[in-house]
Amino acid sequence: MRITEHPLLSFQRKRVIHFTFNGGPLEAYEGETIAAALHAAGIKVLSRSITYSRPRGFFCAIGKCASCMMNVNGVPNVKTCVTLVEEGMVVESQHKGVLKPFTGPKKSHISHMKTQVAVIGAGPAGLNAAVTAHAYGASVLVIDENPHAGGQLVKQTHKFFGSSRERAGTRGTEIAKILYREAESFVMLQAAVVGHYNDRGHRLVLVKDGTLAELEAEKVIVATGASENMLLFENNDLPGVYGAGAVQTLMNVYGIVPGNSVLMVGAGNVGLIVSYQLLQAGVKVVGVVEALPRIGGYHVHAAKVRRCGVPIYTSTSILKALGEEYVTGAVTVSLDKDWNHIPGTERKFDVDTICLAVGLSPSIEFFCQAGCRIAHIPELGGNTPVHSPAMETTVKGMYAAGDAAGIGEANTAMMEGKIAALSCVKALGLSTLETEKESKESYEELRLLRSGSFGERARQGKERVFAIMEELHE
Ligand code: FES
């Protein structure tokens, strides 16, 4: 299951780690998450569901869906997709929601920290925001629960289109490294923000290594990204049904293939790019199905996939996943112009993986907890925090950036991060002559990125969000 040869990536595996899974010995490499290491060992079923004891595997691989939770070293409900495997670790499945008593190490120390700008999320928006605010002299702390900084960039091996200012022509993996190098000294990884109080400015509650910390911040930039959408079909909860981002994480970060043969659902840019990356990793892609009557992604990506012999079926949807414990096949069906299934058009594929690339929704939980006004904006992926063009939300001193502020792409996320940071810099009184100039250029750059037909939906969505914000201020 581990990739040994890849046309673009080389995987420098570190020392061998020994751990146990349900009492049996297993090996992993240092730097792998528990879920990745188990997958590499061919273990897809991590736990069982509460009511029907259905098998559960991972889905998102970035700590957002909770389907990978296991008991680790006596601590229940550990998200194994963002927890690194360690020597001697004891990993156990959880069954039917029964949690064993907590027997992990007890820690009661609570520390206090202060910063001018707290950034939640170390993806492209968060890192760019942090680097910008720091450049103007603000103290900054970035918090992210993943073991790697860079968000979705760490797995994007394709070259970026778009803005030359935001590194078009560079691979996402490289952009992540560049941004992290600039921000490393003020990034805290494997830490989660679990609470927010705004009785004295912004007080955040963090959990890091099992201990609590209180962080006082004058400004907060929330760049929590997005979660992958699920699709309704029979057996959609079987291990082997993975989000496209999870598949990218497994392959491009850990060098582990998700399976031997894959059906891709969704012919937008993500579905097409991940299909090509699967082929590069030596995985068979039996086809790409797309419910719309046309391909949604760039034709350059579709052409690359087709040249490799992968058929793209439009007006087609997935009907069901086959299998008892994990995916052993998939059945698709053609759709008529009213989205109804056309009887007799069912087609069976022998696959062990179904990859869903059917869109993203903004991760808005933190905004909800903080009391930000939320609006349903379909053009931005659904529920979205209401914010101004300066990226400030309805909670004073709290800003949104990137996919958390409405689904876009990495270039616009980085630009929104920069705009949010410049807004913080101004509000903190740290502006220089350069701030105004950089601010103007950033607004213009963002406008250009969203011009043209591919930016149209996001542009319309943002206009609606800004209009709601304006109404609230009248
Ligand atoms: S939270 Fe671990 S797979 Fe989603």
Gap from CA of 34 to ligand 1 centroid (Å) = 11
Contact yes or no for 40/32 (Cβ under 8 A): yes
In this structure, the residues whose C-beta lies within 6 A of any atom of ligand 1 are 58-61, 63-68, 79, 81
d(CA 372, CA 385) in angstroms, rounded, equals 6
Domains of the chain: 16-92 (3.10.20.440), 110-227+361-473 (3.50.50.60), 230-358 (3.50.50.60)
Between the CA of 375 and the centroid of ligand 1 the distance, in Å, is: 26
For the whole model, what pTM was predicted? Answer: 0.91
Sheet holding 329-334, edge to edge: 316-322, 329-334, 347-349
Pocket mutation for ligand 1, best pick of 38, 67, 227 (most atoms within 8 Å of C-beta)? 67
pLDDT of 162 reads: 59
Whole-number pLDDT of residue 203 = 95
Tokens of 74: 């006596």
Pocket test for ligand 1, best of 68, 242, 248 (most atoms within 8 A of CB): 68
Look at residue 122 in the predicted model and tell me its pLDDT.
96
| Distance in Å, CA 78 to ligand 1 centroid | 10
**If you measure from the C-alpha of residue 245 to the centroid of ligand 1, how many angstroms do you get, rounded to a whole number?**
11
In ligand 1, the atom with minimum distance to the C-alpha of 58 is: 3
The alpha carbon of 204 and the centre of ligand 1 are apart by a number of angstroms equal to 23
Residue 330: predicted pLDDT: 98
Which atom of ligand 1 lies at the shortest distance from residue 59's CA? 3
Q: Which atom of ligand 1 is nearest to the CA of 82?
A: 2
Q: What is the mean pLDDT of each run of 10 residues along the chain (474 residues)?
A: 85 92 96 96 94 93 92 93 96 82 70 95 96 97 94 78 65 86 94 90 90 94 96 97 95 94 96 96 97 94 97 98 97 96 97 97 96 97 98 97 95 96 97 92 93 87 97 86
The pick from 39, 79, 229 for probing ligand 1's pocket by mutation, whose C-beta has the most ligand atoms within 8 angstroms, reads 79
Q: Ligand 1 centre and the CA of 455: distance in Å? A: 30
Instruction: Name the residue with the closest Cα to ligand 1, atom 1.
Output: 63
Residue of 44, 60, 145 to test ligand 1 pocket, by largest number of atoms within 8 Å of CB: 60
- Calculate how far, in angstroms, residue 430's C-alpha sits from the geometric centre of ligand 1: 39
Using one digit for the tens of pLDDT, what is the confidence trace for 36-68? 999 999 999 999 998 899 999 999 999 999 899
Give residue 66 CA to ligand 1 midpoint distance, Å: 5
Residue 401's pLDDT is what? 98
pLDDT of res. 248: 94
